[in-house]
Amino acid sequence: MTIRILLFDTQGLLLSSGDADLMAQYDPELHLIWIDINGPNNRAFFQDNPQFGIDNLDFDDAHRERHPPQIEFYSDHTYLLTHELKARESYLLLDRSHLLIHVNQQFLITQHLASSMSVNSVIERLNDKRSIESQNMSSICFLIMRQIVTDFLAVMLALEERLNDIEDEIFDASSDDLLAELLAYSSKLQKAKRSFTYHEELLQQMLDNEAQKHIEFDYQQLSYLYNQFERLSSRASLYQGLVSNLINGFISVSAHKTNRVMMTLTLVTAIFLPLTVIAGIYGMNFQHMPELTWQYGYYAILIIMAAIVVSGLWIAKLKRWF
| Cα dihedral: 184, 187, 191, 197 (round 10) | 120
Give the pLDDT confidence score for residue 91 in this predicted structure: 55
Distance, in Å, from the CA atom of 45 to the CA atom of 163, rounded to the nearest integer, reads 46
Pairwise pLDDT comparison (46 vs 227), residue with the higher score: 227
Count of C-beta atoms within a 10 Å radius of residue 128: 8
Pairwise pLDDT comparison (62 vs 264), residue with the higher score: 264
Domains 2-253 and 263-318 in one fold: no
Instruction: Label residue 194 by pLDDT band (50, 70, 90).
Output: very high
Q: Between β-strands 107-112 and 31-38, what pairing exists: parallel, antiparallel or unpaired?
A: parallel
CATH 3.40.190.10 correct for 2-253? no
Distance, in Å, from the CA atom of 265 to the CA atom of 233, rounded to the nearest integer, reads 48
Statement: residue 3 has pLDDT above 60: yes
Q: What is the pLDDT of the chain when averaged over all its residues?
A: 85
Distance, in Å, from the CA atom of 145 to the CA atom of 141, rounded to the nearest integer, reads 6
Read off the pLDDT of residues 249-263 as tens digits, 9 standing for 90 and up: 888 888 888 888 888
For 276, which DSSP code? H
Give the pLDDT confidence score for residue 57 in this predicted structure: 60
The CA distances from residue 191 to 67, 96, 297, in Å, are 12, 9, 74
Q: What pTM did the predictor assign?
A: 0.79
Statement: residue 183 has pLDDT above 70: yes
Read off the pLDDT of residues 282-296 as tens digits, 9 standing for 90 and up: 888 777 777 777 888
Statement: residue 23 has pLDDT above 80: yes
Give the pLDDT confidence score for residue 138 in this predicted structure: 87
Instruction: Label residue 316 by pLDDT band (50, 70, 90).
Output: confident
Q: Identify the bridge partners of residue 33 per DSSP, sorted by sequence position.
A: 7, 107
Distance, in Å, from the CA atom of 135 to the CA atom of 233, rounded to the nearest integer, reads 33
- Domain ranges for the chain, please list them: 2-253, 263-318
Residue 42: name the closest of 93, 108, 112 by CA. 112
Read off the pLDDT of residues 85-128 as tens digits, 9 standing for 90 and up: 887 655 567 788 889 999 888 899 998 888 888 999 999 999 99
Pairwise pLDDT comparison (57 vs 127), residue with the higher score: 127
Give the pLDDT confidence score for residue 229 in this predicted structure: 93
Residue 115: name the closest of 101, 98, 132 by CA. 98
Residue 3: name the closest of 144, 164, 119, 147 by CA. 119
CA angle 290, 293, 296 (to 5 degrees): 100
Give the pLDDT confidence score for residue 207 in this predicted structure: 81
Statement: residue 8 has pLDDT above 90: yes
Distance, in Å, from the CA atom of 89 to the CA atom of 106, rounded to the nearest integer, reads 35
The dihedrals phi and psi of 308, each to the nearest 5 degrees, come to -60, -45
DSSP 163-212: HHHHHHHGGG--SSHHHHHHHHHHHHHHHHHHHHHHHHHHHHHHHH-SS-
Read off the pLDDT of residues 210-248 as tens digits, 9 standing for 90 and up: 555 667 777 888 889 999 999 999 999 999 999 999 999
Q: Tell me, which fold does domain 263-318 have in CATH?
A: Methane Monooxygenase Hydroxylase; Chain G, domain 1 (1.20.58)
What type of residue sits at position 316? A
